[in-house]
Structure 1
Amino acid sequence: MRLLQEKVDETIRALGGYFRPLSGLARLIEEVGEVGEALEANDDQSLKAELVDVLMISTCLSNQYVTDLAEQHRRLGTEHDQEQGSFYRLVHEAGQVARVMNGYEGDKPPKRTEDIIPIGTSLARLQRELFRLARPLELDLLKEIDQTNEKNLRRDRTRFALTRDPVTEETIDHFRSATGNTERLWGAPVHEAGMLLEAHIRAALPSLRRFLRCARIEGIDGFIIEAPIERSDSLLRVKEQADQIGRIIKEQTPLSFKEAPYRIDVYAPQLGPVSPYHAEDDHRMFLVLHVDE
């Protein structure tokens, strides 16, 4: 499953980026409906194609929330599962995905008393149902999706406009390169030369607000914000930058600290190599926002 996620990620990045999450959800529901059409028509060839499409878009959504599908399927016991597939269960799991995503991305926040199932769990359950439905067709979904990826690259390379997503922002690459960090991360847009710091942080706020809603439930470890700094700048300058960013975040995020307690760690080249917060970068410092348990 990890290889599947990597291949899908490579394909999507080559095509211009992930759909916005609610657009991706609409695609998922559309494809599940087409599975139903194929079942009703007893059209095995169409059914095979639609099952692959659902696997593809559900993996895209998993990647956007940095889900480890291999671990989720291990917990479900998917590899040794022998239950018969059910379209009704597939629809049910798609509904569960929609419920969680509406809480994260839409206008219907979850009730305070509602137990939220992580979207990674719901997506893995949905995929387990795909594998069950594929078994009587002697369809190897993981093999078929490789061919689908190649087809999508040939057909859709110029079809979609470039889109941004916090899981594909180059800020994450910059941070990993500077620190060696391997956690599950979202990132703000890259700081553009000449952009005022306040404008830069405001551009990150939509993704940051989403992060505050879902990070604790989905186990996303941190949200990366980069800011300009020169290695020759003083440690006081680092503190001033960090304080300004922290102030903007506190003023602009919709959740109070009490509702979504978070902490901010600062990584900078001024913090020496022996420090766990050292960043080996001549022109950037990084703030990592963590939502506390």
Structure 2
Amino acid sequence: MRDEKSIERLLEIFVTSVCIAEQYSVALKNAYKDAGYRVEMEAFTQSLRREGDVSFSDSLREIRKHTARVARVITFYELDRLPVDALDLPSLSEAIPVLHASIIRAFANANVPFRDAFREKVTSATDSRRFERYFDPGTAPCLDAFRRVQENTACPFAPPARLWGAPTYDATQSVRENLRNCLPILSSFTRVAQREVLDGFVFAFPVQVFGGDVADLSRLLKTFISFLMANDPAGPRTIVRDEVLSPDWHFSFAGEDYFVNVLSPRYGNDHTRYTHGVRDYVFVVLQPDASFHARIPTERSEETRRNIREAFENIYQGYEHQNLEAHRFILPASHADTSVAWYDAEEYAEVIGGYTMPPDVE
């Protein structure tokens, strides 16, 4: 037996989980394929028709179990509360397709056409605007600005990259105040990226505020790195020059190593950090090591790096490989220039509504 309220609740769960997948940059089509399900809705529902004598109440119990599992994953991502079953906890890419399959199977057991009910639900006037998030880093405005870079760079991994972005920079606040507002989102990104294989977190800093030449970028990056290190949930620390210049130094945040990629409109179109016509922003992109390891097998890492350098050289954007990790964050304007010592730059000082140089007021 089934009732209309239960059917309505199942639709609520399905639609909400689709919105959750969107918010956490879960590619549902790929997730369905990885789970062994058909991607097309019609084929998906047909493949999950009534199976044996499973009752509707049994189906509901199965759905409760899968819904609770999704909820535990979200609790971990948002609140950093490690569940008891953390080691066995799936990613949302794994958990949501299983939840969807159980819901569609319940509809089949109840003899209710899922496709028609779902279409009516998502097109209704009351539901079409219900699932807006106060700020969704997966659809941050800075990602729209960055898309031109993403689509035109010679890096083959950029176009399909799954990115989150910071809130729009508020010029009425200091750089540290802006970064402080990003800390919870960046912490959540770190947890999500390790399980959902996200590829980068984008910050967009206005050129009108910060400038864009190498000296400007150095001051900005020194302030940026210093603030994140001082507010690292894995343990606060400071920039130590000798450590930064060691061969094994990597920038890390919340237990994840990140490569820091700085792009500026001041670089010419023959430079790898060219912004492809975006003139208003300097981009700082944090790329988690977890993404590199997931996308590039260890045995192919050198070959992949060589192929990427050749791709840039083919569009006249060749570059000299910097030996130290820190020297790869900001590249010099010309290959003939020395490595950029951003770690020696003076930080921006904190004042209400802006900043001063040198940083003598905190």
Q: TM-score, normalised by structure 2?
A: 0.62
Tell me how far 1:76 sits from its aligned partner. Answer: 2.0
Tell me how far 1:83 sits from its aligned partner. Answer: 6.5
Which structure 2 residues correspond to residues 32-47 of structure 1 after superposition, within 5 A? 42-43=2-3, 45-47=4-6
Q: Which residue of 2 is the match for residue 9 of structure 1?
A: none
Is 1:260 equivalent to 2:256 in the alignment?
yes
Paired residue for 1:88, among 45, 61, 65? Answer: 61
Alpha carbons of structure 1 residues 107 and 263: separation in structure 2 relative to 1, 3 Å: closer
Tell me how far 1:59 sits from its aligned partner. Answer: 0.4
Name the aligned partner's letter for residue 281 of structure 1.
Answer: V
SS at match of 1:263: strand
Q: Which residue of 2 is the match for residue 277 of structure 1?
A: 273
> Any gaps of 5 or more consecutive residues in structure 2?
39-46, 152-158, 236-251, 291-362
Identity of counterpart residues, as a percentage? Answer: 23
Q: Which residue of 2 is the match for residue 226 of structure 1?
A: 204
Q: TM-score, normalised by structure 1?
A: 0.75
Alpha carbons of structure 1 residues 175 and 202: separation in structure 2 relative to 1, 3 Å: same
Q: Which residue of 1 is the match for residue 7 of structure 2?
A: 48
SS at match of 2:273: coil
Inter-partner Cα distance in structure 2 for 1:127 and 1:161: 21
Q: Which residue of 2 is the match for residue 70 of structure 1?
A: 29
SS at match of 1:90: helix
Q: Which residue of 1 is the match for residue 143 of structure 2?
A: 172
Which structure 2 residues correspond to residues 117-196 of structure 1 after superposition, within 5 A? 117-151=90-124, 154-155=125-126, 163-180=134-151, 181-196=159-174
Inter-partner Cα distance in structure 1 for 2:203 and 2:272: 17
Name the aligned partner's letter for residue 204 of structure 1.
Answer: C
The structure with more helix, counted as a fraction of residues? 1
Contact 2:19-2:131 at 8 Å conserved across structures: no
Inter-partner Cα distance in structure 1 for 2:196 and 2:231: 23
Tell me how far 1:191 sits from its aligned partner. Answer: 0.8
Tell me how far 1:277 sits from its aligned partner. Answer: 2.6
Root mean square deviation of aligned Cα: 2.8
Tell me how far 1:97 sits from its aligned partner. Answer: 1.1
Contact 1:197-1:227 at 8 Å conserved across structures: no
Tell me how far 1:238 sits from its aligned partner. Answer: 1.8
Contact 1:116-1:217 at 8 Å conserved across structures: no
Task: Describe the superposition over 1:220-277 as per-residue Cα deviations: whole angstroms up to 9, x where unpaired.
Answer: 1111111122597422212221222122112113135383211211121123223343
Which structure 2 residues correspond to residues 97-116 of structure 1 after superposition, within 5 A? 97-106=70-79, 108-110=81-83, 114-116=87-89
Alpha carbons of structure 1 residues 285 and 107: separation in structure 2 relative to 1, 3 Å: closer
Task: Describe the superposition over 1:167-204 as per-residue Cα deviations: whole angstroms up to 9, x where unpaired.
Answer: 23211112113442442111110012343211111111
Inter-partner Cα distance in structure 1 for 2:131 and 2:19: 15
Question: Of the two, which has the highest radius of gyration?
Answer: 2
Q: Which residue of 1 is the match for residue 182 of structure 2?
A: 204
Alpha carbons of structure 1 residues 271 and 116: separation in structure 2 relative to 1, 3 Å: farther
Contact 1:268-1:284 at 8 Å conserved across structures: yes
SS at match of 1:127: helix
Q: What count of residue pairs does the alignment treat as equivalent?
A: 250
Tell me how far 1:63 sits from its aligned partner. Answer: 0.8
Is 1:245 equivalent to 2:224 in the alignment?
yes
Higher alpha-carbon deviation: 267-276 or 221-230:
267-276
Contact 2:203-2:284 at 8 Å conserved across structures: yes
Inter-partner Cα distance in structure 2 for 1:246 and 1:143: 51
